[in-house]
Chains A and B, each alone.
Chain A
Amino acid sequence: MTTGAPSSPAAFWEQTEAQLAETPPDVFLERDAFYSQPEWEVYRMRYYSSGGHRLFAWLSVPHGDGPFPALVRMPDYASVHDIIYTSLRHRAVVLNPTYRGQRNSDALVRASYPGLLTEGIDSPQTYTLLGAWADALRAIDVLLAQEQASIGTVALTGAGLGASLALAVAARRSNVAAVAADTPMALGHPAALQPGLGYPLAELDDYLRAHTERRQAVEGTLTLLNSANYATAVKAPVLMSAGRFDRGLCPLPFAEELAAALPDCDLRVYDGAAEGGGHEHAHVRAAWLAERLGIST
């Protein structure tokens, strides 16, 4: 069993991978007749992640012969992760995985919002949210391992926390071909600890106002999650969006620094807040992902 607080981002990833390697995923797939459609099948997927957390994911598989391109939509900072509804589900396998604490993955820990962002944050050993990174890695591994559909090109997408998770997975898994990351959460960046931000980042300042003496410990934990730490390892092309007035997820200085650190990043900045590019970028993202996945729209 791999234990102890990781002392650096490299040690964190090493420990995370080792803990996953110690945990057989034990994947269980169950067809959901209620939500399956004539054009695609919907499955409820369950598997283990590190720490014995049994996780849930929605899996959508188009009819026909594979291999299919696949899109993984990483979960945001919220109790619910959507059932799949992207228009790409007609042509692509789509996976919407959850992380520990979210609805349907909450047998061992139930997250609260707000709350999860600071639960146990004084140490990497106790920080609940840290497990979401292991869960994101586990999601793509079980997607590739499952036998229901043959998988071809893989793209990742996500917003907020989901964008951060997508970038982290792309840094750790060479089979990721593209990442669409909207307003990645600025965890580990000084911009996330400023006073006066909106939620969810405001949770961090709430915590530090109440526990001023713990700032160093909090910063030490969060630095493990700073996307800039692993940005150079992301070899896949990245489409990133940010809102010029975002004060709750992805303050612009962080977005610009992260984009500069990524080897192949197309940063689109919109006159929005936490919604980033909103509807306008949704069209850009869909076309970009379809092209990367080889899907005609």
Chain B
Amino acid sequence: MATESDLVSFSTQVTCPDDFDQFWDGVLSELDQIPLDANVSHDPLRSTDAATMFQVTYRSLDGLDIFGWYAVPAVGDGPFPAVLILPGYKSEPALRRDWAAKGVAALSVAVRGKLPSSAQFNPGYPGLLTHGVEDRDTYSYKGVISDCSRGLDFLLSRPEVDSERIYCCGSSQGGGLTLITTGLRHEIKAGVAGYPFLCCYPESMRMLRSYPYDELSCYASAYPDRVDQMLDTLRYFDAVNFAPRIQCPMVVGIAMEDEVCPPETSYAAYRLLNRQRELWLFPNSGHGNAHGYPARENAWLQQRIGVSPA
């Protein structure tokens, strides 16, 4: 179990590449050249009196079509505030009708490799975390992060969405992607990153023997001559290098007995946040299972968004 002292005394060896901003500006510019080609299909089976559900796809990097569940309030004309919900490593994207029932549009993104966005790119689980890690331009997460950014573009393209009131959240990989996407895209007004993955790769892969980080350890064992190359690539995709670029309020939630994402590494990202920041520590809790975390996330976002508790 980590103590608060462990969190504070931890320091990461991760440094930010000199051309970090240049690299990501280039990726965003490349995305800007790709037509969104959004397809929005009503799903009557999953719709209710309070929430109209849509299955959506939009185009992302490498021409891949990315799937999402899109919940829109069935009551009212909008424009509605919106939440971009980013997915865990292997879990399914959630249908968030509860947000729509509160008057908030919600897009849950299935990034590339994840069903049903896996038709054109499918490295598997395990597999995604090391796919193409030899080079920043072939690394899977260049696409994964692009898919999240394009999710925001989708919301911004929607007439029923208030583009000034878009928020972001996710847990585990979704927490790491929340930090990363919010660091890249300043249209997001606030975020909640729970148990964030994708932080401090060199330390995370050494501190634990659990997946997904252990995929990196296995890669290092299998290809010892490529470790430096791998770690150099990962600097471009480490949430701690995005955290200082976040310009909105952000919460980081940490389970003190997290056996998947070391608490120290999540705290390292939190410590680098410049703007309004909030830290939630959950003692006696492990990865993704702190009692009360979902309710707290909902309440915090609702307060930011300005909707009444359901």
Complex Cα spacing A114 to B93, Å: 10
Q: What per-residue 1/0 map shows which CB atoms of B277-294 lie under 8 Å from chain A?
A: 000000011101111001
B92 touches A33 (CB 8 A): no
Which residue on chain B has the smallest CB distance to residue A78? Answer: B92
The B contact surface, by secondary structure, is loop
On whether A279 and B286 interact (CB within 8 A), knowing A206-B45, A206-B46, A210-B45, the answer reads yes
On whether A279 and B45 interact (CB within 8 A), knowing A85-B210, A112-B115, the answer reads no
Which residue on chain B has the smallest CB distance to residue A58? Answer: B126
Name the 8 nearest CB pairs between A and B, nearest first: A279-B286, A278-B289, A80-B90, A275-B289, A113-B92, A80-B125, A79-B115, A85-B210
A-B contact pairs, 30 of them (CB 8 A): A34-B222, A78-B91, A78-B92, A79-B90, A79-B92, A79-B115, A80-B90, A82-B90, A83-B125, A83-B211, A85-B210, A85-B214, A103-B115, A103-B124, A103-B125, A104-B124, A113-B92, A114-B46, A114-B92, A114-B95, A199-B95, A270-B291, A275-B288, A275-B289, A278-B285, A278-B289, A278-B291, A279-B284, A279-B289, A279-B290
Residues of the A chain whose Cβ atoms lie less than 8 Å from the Cβ of B116:
112
B289 touches A35 (CB 8 A): no
Q: What per-residue 1/0 map shows which CB atoms of A196-228 lie under 8 Å from chain B?
A: 000100000011011000000000000000000
Chain B, interface size category, equals 20 to 34
Residues of the A chain whose Cβ atoms lie less than 8 Å from the Cβ of B115:
79, 103, 110, 112-113
Residues of the A chain whose Cβ atoms lie less than 8 Å from the Cβ of B286:
278-279, 282
Complex Cα spacing A265 to B192, Å: 39
Residues of the A chain whose Cβ atoms lie less than 8 Å from the Cβ of B158:
none
Complex Cα spacing A258 to B291, Å: 24
B46 touches A275 (CB 8 A): no
Residues of the A chain whose Cβ atoms lie less than 8 Å from the Cβ of B257:
279
Nearest Cβ distance between residue B26 and chain A, in whole angstroms? 32
A residues 65-95 in Cβ contact with B at 8 Å: 78-80, 82-83, 85
Residues of the A chain whose Cβ atoms lie less than 8 Å from the Cβ of B91:
78
Residues on A facing B (Cβ under 8 Å): 33-35, 78-80, 82-83, 85, 103-104, 110, 112-114, 199, 206-207, 209-210, 270-273, 275, 278-280, 282
Nearest Cβ distance between residue A33 and chain B, in whole angstroms? 7
Nearest Cβ distance between residue B280 and chain A, in whole angstroms? 15
Residues of the B chain whose Cβ atoms lie less than 8 Å from the Cβ of A113:
92, 115
Residues of the A chain whose Cβ atoms lie less than 8 Å from the Cβ of B210:
85
Which residue on chain B has the smallest CB distance to residue A35? Answer: B218
Which residue on chain A has the smallest CB distance to residue B210? Answer: A85
A279 touches B126 (CB 8 A): no
Complex Cα spacing A271 to B289, Å: 12
Residues of the A chain whose Cβ atoms lie less than 8 Å from the Cβ of B255:
279
Would you call B304 an interface residue if the criterion is a C-beta within 8 Å of the partner chain's C-beta atoms?
no
A210 touches B44 (CB 8 A): yes
Would you call B299 an interface residue if the criterion is a C-beta within 8 Å of the partner chain's C-beta atoms?
no
